[in-house]
Amino acid sequence: MVTKGLLARFEAKEGKKDELESFLKSALPLARQEADTIAWFALHFGGRKYGIFDAFPDESGRQAHLRGSIAQALTAQGAALLAEPPTIDHLDIIASKLPSAPPAVPDTKALLLTFQPKSGHEERLHDFLVQAQHWVEEEPDTIAWFGIRLDDGKFGIFDTFPDHSGRLKHLTGRVARELATHALSLLGGLPDPDLLDALAEKL
């Protein structure tokens, strides 16, 4: 079970895109050494924008990761690779789906969807994400799924897929349909989607 997460976003310096991508891929063995880093994903948002999403059983595991080898390596190389300091969101993980064993072939696609709750409806949106876990359990191509709450009070969904087809099935599946049905009563605005490439993962 995971209850805490991190979402870090990076922008590569001009001409450093390939180096930053290589650095993120090279961090996978370090993530595998962290017992309390239950899930870890290196991501490409597009252009020079990259990120890491990871999940932990508790606050202790999250703090251990923030003091760990990946954070130290990023601090050491960040000035050379990054256009600006990374932004890091501390997440509460409301509900999650994780595979019972690492997938035979790593995921290549991911989705990050964030949305602002309508004022006074935060608890209902929280409950919606708890319910959504049961729906994604029925989606074999949604390999990992997380219902999250971000630092700024927004809620969201992060999930990963073996390929574009798996992501498309999810985007046309029950979670998306139910979210659209209840959007006017639950959301304070349109969801903000990011279609991501998954570069490396620990599951």
Asked if 125 contacts 179 with a C-beta cutoff of 8 angstroms, the reply is no
Residue 183 has pLDDT above 90, yes or no: no
Q: Where are the domains of the chain?
A: 4-202
Q: According to the CATH classification, is domain 4-202 in 3.30.70.100? A: yes
pLDDT tier at 165 (50, 70, 90 boundaries)? very high
pLDDT of residue 95: 97
Residue 89 has pLDDT above 90, yes or no: yes
pLDDT tier at 67 (50, 70, 90 boundaries)? very high
Look at strands 49-56 and 39-46 and give their pairing: antiparallel
Mean pLDDT on 149-161: 95
Q: Express each pLDDT in 97-152 by its tens digit.
A: 999 998 989 999 999 999 999 989 999 999 999 999 999 999 999 999 999 999 99
Residue 189 has pLDDT above 90, yes or no: no
Mean pLDDT on 6-29: 96
**What string of DSSP letters covers 129-188?**
HHHHHHHHTT-TT--EEEEEE-TTS-EEEEEEESSHHHHHHHHTSHHHHHHHHHHHHHBS
Mean pLDDT on 15-30: 96
Mean pLDDT rounded to a whole number for the chain: 94
pLDDT tier at 191 (50, 70, 90 boundaries)? confident
Residue 12 has pLDDT above 90, yes or no: yes
Mean pLDDT on 32-52: 97
Predicted TM-score (pTM) above 0.85: yes
